[in-house]
A = this chain, B = another copy of it.
Amino acid sequence: MLCRRVLTLPIQLSRLYSLQASCQQRARSAPYPKRTHNCGSLTARDAGSRVVLAGWILPERKGKAISFFPIKDSHGTTQLIVNHADNPASSSIISEIPVESTVLIEGTVLLRPSNARRSDPTGEIDVQVDKVTLLNPATNLPFLPSNPHNLPNEDLRSRHRYLDLRRTALSENIKKRSQVAHLVRNILHTIGFTEVETPVLLRSSPEGAREFLVPTRINTASPTSQEPLFYALQQSPQQPKQLLICSGGVDKYFQIAKCFRDEDGRKDRQPEFTQIDLEMAFVSWSGDEKGTSWKIGGGEVRDVIETLLREIWQQFENVALPPRLRVMTYHDAMTHFGSDKPDTRFGLEITDLTDLLPANRALSRENEVIECIVVREPEFIKASHSFKHDYDVEHITLTEENLQTWLLGSDSARQILSQEDQSIVNDALKIKSGDDVWLTRRSRLPKGGSTVLGKVRLGLAELAQSQGEFTPTKDPHFLWITEFPLFTRDDSDKDFLAKGRWSSSHHPFTAPMWEDIPTLYRGDIETVRGQHYDLVLNGVEIGGGSVRIHDPLMQDHIFTNVLQLSENEKTPFNHLVRALHCGAPPHGGIALGFDRIMTMLCNTQSIRDVIAFPKTSLGTDLLFKSPAPVTSQVLYEYGIQPRSAT
């Protein structure tokens, strides 16, 4: 009776299978009734209804007269009741079904006795089971995803990601990601943006070492040439989106875009990642706005992003962001926080001592500053005492004895400052015995993304947090950073291309601040600031963008005279310069790191928790077993072969 209902096929066919399970444990491939509800939808209002549910069966809670079985799907869990006496058939079937099998249940919704009602969505009812149909048995599970307390290691879960995704925590992240993306699209469509798909298969450019290549079966034009040709996977839609806006065909572009970078050695690295990418025509200057500290163009982009963030944080975090997010210049960020992406959730601010002294009178070298962090009791003081590091920084614990000499006697200030300076500093800092001081001297123009004191500051906070001395606020600390230097010589990531020349701090299409245009043409490259803006959340860079150059002559000046690119190096940019010549509008845009934003919204540490099928930090995929070798026959078609042993 039991077998006949569950089995699809006439009994004699079972001999054809290599059947390890017992007869009731075959998957059902014959028709079955449609489900009427999902497992998260039944409430007291459904009491008395006949329902059909489908889902995954969880461990039995067995009683004398009745057993309880939770049945779960991605919408929720419903408690099933099987009455042993009334329905012995169902009772024995369901007890034999392995946990995590898919089943179909027909039954009746019962209102729970009032003392058994719970506040969770289906907590008011049970479903009394009349009939059980096994749809597919679970066999030899490597782990039980319904048990959150005994998770195996990440490696095992990655190899069986299809089972790990059954965990509620992970599937909720994936669903939230979908909801946030849709909210972003809804807002952007509402305010007139057009989503445009740009090519993933693009041209490889001189930065090739950081992009993925895609061999093609296309040969160079010359029929005798065997030179293989390659696409490159887009690192970002930067050039296509600028060309699109240059066309005038679209006024406001966006795309939730898959991007690809072949970088290694990054924590939480993913070779493919997702950007919320946008670009707008006719962005204008925003410095006129009353009281604004945003002294560059692109205010239209800022407005859109702040609207997006405000809606997302309202809907998903129930947090009301302020009407305007804070803006800080790169100079201020480096001076006060020692970082171009400051975490402003805590103090430990840096003080430039040079600034405190009248007319810098005592500083022998003008191009340097002396700066310090003062750690005062009680917060961070334990961390400050126990912080281990190998930074080039002085650590001075103040006592009654050294209170009037700590600065004068330091390596950073010795023979530079006077006793009067020491007093001025002590007064300004309101310093006292028991305080802890971290002291450095550095060049006045900060370089790159952080200073030594910036690293000390983060190190202290991290240590204090791990020791329970400090708990960061839950309020999100958003921050725009503006007025970055337009060019740099200190980015090691870029130097392999720049080879000692200037390189662009962000990319060569970023416009200078208009006040600095004369400086640019005068050749005073180091001090030119760009119309770039980075968006920082809790010390993590979650996006960046800029007003672009729309003047083809200026763009060419930067390529030729500042970056000193050869004609060959300029080739991949030629079409962009030509597009600027065709009446390109002033324009600007931004890209937000969607994976990072979701990591924050899902309150998780790892980017892999917000991606359905992530890769390891090495770039391997333990589920699909990629990358993998291919036959030399296939490579031959693409005009390549494994490189010869050297």
Indicate if the CB atoms of A201 and B260 lie closer than 8 Å: yes
Indicate if the CB atoms of A178 and B196 lie closer than 8 Å: yes
Q: A623 contacts which chain B residues (CB < 8 A)?
A: 243, 575
Query: Contacts A31-B297, A32-B284, A165-B249; is A551 near B26 (CB within 8 Å)?
Result: yes
A444 adjacent to chain B (CB < 8 Å):
no
Indicate if the CB atoms of B258 and A200 lie closer than 8 Å: yes
A95 adjacent to chain B (CB < 8 Å):
no
Interface centre among A517, A619, A626, A639 (most CB of B within 10 A): A626
Q: A212 contacts which chain B residues (CB < 8 A)?
A: 201, 214-216, 231
In the assembled complex, the Cα of A262 lies from the Cα of B630 at a distance in Å of 15
Q: A61 contacts which chain B residues (CB < 8 A)?
A: none
Residue in B30, B167, B197 whose CB lies within 8 Å of A258: B197
Indicate if the CB atoms of A213 and B612 lie closer than 8 Å: no
In the assembled complex, the Cα of A17 lies from the Cα of B557 at a distance in Å of 8
Query: Contacts A199-B613, A243-B162, A630-B204; is A209 near B637 (CB within 8 Å)?
Result: yes
Q: A231 contacts which chain B residues (CB < 8 A)?
A: 212, 626-627
Q: Which residue of B lies closest to A629 (CB)?
A: B227
Nearest Cβ on chain B to A355's Cβ, whole angstroms = 31
Q: A525 contacts which chain B residues (CB < 8 A)?
A: none
Indicate if the CB atoms of A251 and B161 lie closer than 8 Å: no
A220 adjacent to chain B (CB < 8 Å):
yes
Indicate if the CB atoms of A203 and B621 lie closer than 8 Å: yes
A18 adjacent to chain B (CB < 8 Å):
yes
Indicate if the CB atoms of B203 and A627 lie closer than 8 Å: yes
Residues of A517-565 whose CB lies within 8 A of B:
517-518, 521, 549-554, 556-557
Indicate if the CB atoms of B31 and A284 lie closer than 8 Å: yes
A369 adjacent to chain B (CB < 8 Å):
no
In the assembled complex, the Cα of A512 lies from the Cα of B35 at a distance in Å of 22
In the assembled complex, the Cα of A213 lies from the Cα of B201 at a distance in Å of 12
Residue in B141, B243, B251, B578 whose CB lies within 8 Å of A582: B141
Residue in B98, B249, B575, B585 whose CB lies within 8 Å of A54: B585
Q: A165 contacts which chain B residues (CB < 8 A)?
A: 244, 247-250
Query: Contacts A56-B248, A197-B612, A200-B260; is A136 near B27 (CB within 8 Å)?
Result: no
Residues of A575-621 whose CB lies within 8 A of B:
575, 578-586, 611-613, 615, 618-621
A100 adjacent to chain B (CB < 8 Å):
yes
Q: A67 contacts which chain B residues (CB < 8 A)?
A: none
Q: A385 contacts which chain B residues (CB < 8 A)?
A: none
Q: Which residue of B lies closest to A212 (CB)?
A: B214
Indicate if the CB atoms of B645 and A642 lie closer than 8 Å: no
Query: Contacts A240-B613, A613-B240, A642-B227; is A163 near B218 (CB within 8 Å)?
Result: no
Interface centre among A13, A203, A229, A624 (most CB of B within 10 A): A624
Q: A627 contacts which chain B residues (CB < 8 A)?
A: 201, 203-204, 214, 216, 218, 229-231
Indicate if the CB atoms of B274 and A197 lie closer than 8 Å: yes
Interface centre among A29, A38, A584 (most CB of B within 10 A): A29
Residues of A177-199 whose CB lies within 8 A of B:
177-178, 181-182, 185-186, 189, 194-199
Indicate if the CB atoms of B228 and A619 lie closer than 8 Å: no
Q: Which residue of B lies closest to A170 (CB)?
A: B249
Indicate if the CB atoms of B136 and A521 lie closer than 8 Å: no
A34 adjacent to chain B (CB < 8 Å):
yes
Q: A258 contacts which chain B residues (CB < 8 A)?
A: 197, 200, 258
A507 adjacent to chain B (CB < 8 Å):
no
Q: A338 contacts which chain B residues (CB < 8 A)?
A: none
A409 adjacent to chain B (CB < 8 Å):
no
Nearest Cβ on chain B to A399's Cβ, whole angstroms = 54
Indicate if the CB atoms of B199 and A272 lie closer than 8 Å: yes
Query: Contacts A27-B551, A287-B31, A640-B641; is A201 near B13 (CB within 8 Å)?
Result: no
In the assembled complex, the Cα of A498 lies from the Cα of B162 at a distance in Å of 29
A393 adjacent to chain B (CB < 8 Å):
no
A452 adjacent to chain B (CB < 8 Å):
no
A382 adjacent to chain B (CB < 8 Å):
no
Indicate if the CB atoms of B162 and A244 lie closer than 8 Å: yes
Query: Contacts A228-B642, A578-B160; is A551 near B629 (CB within 8 Å)?
Result: no
Query: Contacts A226-B645, A627-B231; is A550 near B249 (CB within 8 Å)?
Result: no
Q: A247 contacts which chain B residues (CB < 8 A)?
A: 161-166, 171
Q: A637 contacts which chain B residues (CB < 8 A)?
A: 209
Q: A197 contacts which chain B residues (CB < 8 A)?
A: 177, 258, 274, 611-612
Indicate if the CB atoms of B230 and A136 lie closer than 8 Å: no
One digit per residue, 1 when the CB lies within 8 angstroms of any chain B CB and 0 when it does not, for chain A 24-58 equals 00111111111100100000000000000011100
Q: A248 contacts which chain B residues (CB < 8 A)?
A: 55-56, 72-74, 102, 165-166, 171
Indicate if the CB atoms of B17 and A585 lie closer than 8 Å: no
Q: A346 contacts which chain B residues (CB < 8 A)?
A: none
A64 adjacent to chain B (CB < 8 Å):
no
Query: Contacts A54-B585, A213-B215, A215-B215; is A249 near B514 (CB within 8 Å)?
Result: no
In the assembled complex, the Cα of A415 lies from the Cα of B578 at a distance in Å of 73
Indicate if the CB atoms of B218 and A620 lie closer than 8 Å: yes
Q: A284 contacts which chain B residues (CB < 8 A)?
A: 31-35
16 chain-A/chain-B pairs, Cβ below 8 angstroms: A10-B518, A13-B517, A16-B521, A74-B248, A75-B251, A102-B584, A135-B550, A162-B579, A177-B197, A182-B189, A200-B258, A203-B626, A212-B216, A214-B233, A226-B643, A229-B629
Which 7 pairs, one residue from A and one from B, show the smallest C-beta to C-beta distance?
A: A171-B249, A31-B285, A138-B583, A27-B551, A165-B247, A203-B626, A229-B627
Known A202-B621, A230-B627; further 10 A-B contacts with Cβ < 8 A: A9-B521, A29-B514, A38-B251, A100-B582, A162-B244, A182-B195, A203-B621, A208-B634, A228-B629, A231-B626
